[in-house]
Amino acid sequence: KQEVTQIPAALSVPEGENLVLNCSFTDSAIYNLQWFRQDPGKGLTSLLLIQSSQREQTSGRLNASLDKSSGRSTLYIAASQPGDSATYLCAVLIQGAQKLVFGQGTRLTINP
């Protein structure tokens, strides 16, 4: 059974820092991995999708990497801003299925 874990559970940093969020998954048989942002009480906003054949994806200040063989992904946020404060979720789409399996998220706080 696929398990997705995110470390750390919470992170608080001053504005302007570069930071890394980690995601690990137990079964490498995945189609893709997505990173989402969730604001309190709100829905999920897709940030980046990495296909299983890809190593990384970039969007603005965000860069996500994927090492499928070791079951790891990182989300790198450059020059963090207070508006980046949210919970970041990673999810994998497992092969042979259409369901996303989510991690528990990292709650990020950027202090002005």
Partner 1 sequence: EPEVTQTPSHQVTQMGQEVILRCVPISNHLYFYWYRQILGQKVEFLVSFYNNEISEKSEIFDDQFSVERPDGSNFTLKIRSTKLEDSAMYFCASSPRTGYKDTQYFGPGTRLTVL
What is the contact surface with partner 1 in residues (CB under 8 A)? 31-32, 34, 36, 41-46, 49, 51, 89, 91, 93, 95, 97-105
Q: Which is nearer to partner 1, 37 or 71 (CB)?
A: 37
**Considering the complex, what minimum distance in angstroms separates the CB of residue 22 from partner 1?**
16
Strands (E), the chain: 4-7, 10-14, 19-25, 30-38, 44-51, 56-59, 62-67, 72-77, 86-94, 100-102, 106-111
Q: Which amino acid is at 66?
A: L
Q: Which is nearer to partner 1, 21 or 80 (CB)?
A: 21
